Structure 1
Amino acid sequence: MTETLSEQQLLDLRQAFSSVDYDNDGLVYTKDIRKIFTYFDESLKTFIIEEDELKNLIDGIVLDNHDQITFTQFLTLLSYKFNVNDTIEELQEAFRMFDRTDSGFITIDDLWHGMQNLGENLTKHEIEEMMQEADRDQDGKINFAEFTEIIRYK
């Protein structure tokens, strides 16, 4: 985390997590993560993740127990919130590296050229897979919102 946890905050996070670990097996159902936040005191309020952002984060991680997370995975979710310190200007600059024609979109050809410029010699299939993952609305191009989501949550 870019924000360092104090020992007390870590203990408080563990206690909040344990409050929702009803069978004390070290696992919490993902549907219950929001309940953990209700146990946060004022010193932990900055760690609360909004519903839509939480869904994106959960969808983006691989869970061994499918619908449950460990305390470590919970801390990892919280860290994503604080590792996202890219400013909008930095994200726009990165987007422009790929948007060669300044169209406001990244095409598959733009993506290939951008990856080549970064020294990534990817196959056509790998580029197509990247495009498919990033192109959430399936319109054949990546807009700035899709680009930002991929950068922040992957």
Structure 2
Amino acid sequence: MAEETIVEYPTLTEQDVFELRRIFSSFDNDNDGLVDAKDIAALFKYLEQNFQSFVIKEDELKELLDRNHINESQPISFTQFLTLIAYKVTEFDNLEELQEAFTIFDPTDSGFITTKDLLRVMQRLGENITEADAQEMMRQADRSLSGKISFNEFIDMIRYAQST
């Protein structure tokens, strides 16, 4: 049986993201940037000791993996791992928490995420993405075709990922 968990509203700071990257990497046994989905439960169990805000019950984790079409035979990237955590954040539609996550990508408080911001943060998090990758991510999220992602587009992007 899964242990009962206290529901808390997570706050994801840039320092948290760096620490989550470190923890994720410690589960990446062959240093290929991927962790087997079957090991994600153990990773979240480890988080219970260090990040009480991100405690996810076993049945809740299974549901999140199912929503993201991830089965135990698939490896997941750090970005997918953060997406699972984002589900936890957005599960309650906590706009304050989403704003804090948005701020990581918008350090100048311009109200927008540029391709340069996206590339910078993803690379600082250890993701091996190119400028072309960042441009493609931007193209998918930028519905207004402004060349930037607004906070509303950011929220829609996360909610869209949650619904697929």
What TM-score, normalized by structure 2, do the two folds share?
Answer: 0.46
What TM-score, normalized by structure 1, do the two folds share?
Answer: 0.49
Q: Considering Cα pairs closer than 8 Å and 6+ residues apart, tell me whether 1 or 2 has the greater RCO.
A: 2
Larger Rg: 1
